[in-house]
Amino acid sequence: MSTAPEALFDESLASVARALHVGEVTLAAVVSALLLYFWLERRGRHGWIGMPLTRMPNEGHPYRTSTLTLAHMDHAPRLVRVAALGSLAYGHFFVPLVALAVVRYPFDGISIPLLPGMALALLNWVCAWLLLSRAKLALSAARSGAVGSLMAHVGLLAIAGVHFVEVEMQRRDGIEHACSSSVTFVVIVFAVASVAQALVVLAALRAHGEALLVTPRTIARLP
């Protein structure tokens, strides 16, 4: 009695999740990322204290205008904190998950683009530290990591999509072939999460990039 391909595909997804220890990796990633985030956020607040939070133009003379600072920051802006937490959780979850997938399953063509993806995940993980402490290289490093991740994983998403639709959806060889489809699905999830994480970081840099450029000497000259 033969089993329907759909059932084999469902079972292979569950087997891949068990083989990659997705539940354990998720729990460890969430707990470790939250603990590290709270420690880094508290430790890096001093880099954001005194930064202008709310500013408005002050027009006193037709030929003379200035900018009035109404409030100052006491910690990193919310979008920067969200981007940093997302980068930490992303690295803690996908780096071990992708490493397990590369080691456990055959190293075929779809696995090759995962290696630079792991390097970019580690780079964005480091950038989370830089953003929360408003380090000198935070803006340039975070922008380079986000743009590189966006470019690499949009390409990976296209490759994985073609691989999934053109090859893996034609599952004629039973459970072994179906399992390969499940691994490709994991790659697609990795690519989508990478693109989303990069877009959040770029949005944070677009909104608060000026604050990351201001130096203590510049703050002293602000009205």
Tell me the per-residue pLDDT of 16-57, one tens digit each, with 9 for 90 and over: 778 788 889 999 999 999 999 999 999 988 888 767 664 444
Give the model's confidence band at 107: pLDDT under 50 very low, under 70 low, under 90 confident, else very high: low
Alpha-carbon 59 to chain mean position:
42
Give the model's confidence band at 201: pLDDT under 50 very low, under 70 low, under 90 confident, else very high: very high
Greater confidence (108 vs 222) lies with 108
Q: What is the spatial distance between Cα 17 and Cα 54, in angstroms, rounded to a whole number?
A: 47
Q: What is the spatial distance between Cα 17 and Cα 37, in angstroms, rounded to a whole number?
A: 27
- Other Cβ atoms closer than 10 A to 131: 29
Instruction: Specify the pTM.
Output: 0.77
CATH of domain 5-45+76-221: 1.20.58
Domain ranges (residues) in the chain = 5-45+76-221
In the three-class reduction of DSSP (H, G, I as helix; E, B as strand; rest coil), residue 63 is classed as coil
117-132: average pLDDT:
91
Looking at residue 45, the DSSP 8-state letter turns out to be G
Q: What is the spatial distance between Cα 146 and Cα 202, in angstroms, rounded to a whole number?
A: 7
Token pair listed for 85: 């937490």
* pLDDT at residue 71 in the model: 56
Token pair listed for 59: 């027009």
Q: What percent of the chain stands above pLDDT 90?
A: 33
Q: Which of 155, 137, 140, 139 is closest to 194 using CA atoms?
A: 155
Q: What is the spatial distance between Cα 69 and Cα 66, in angstroms, rounded to a whole number?
A: 10
* pLDDT at residue 12 in the model: 62
54-74: average pLDDT:
51
Residue type (1 letter), 215 = T
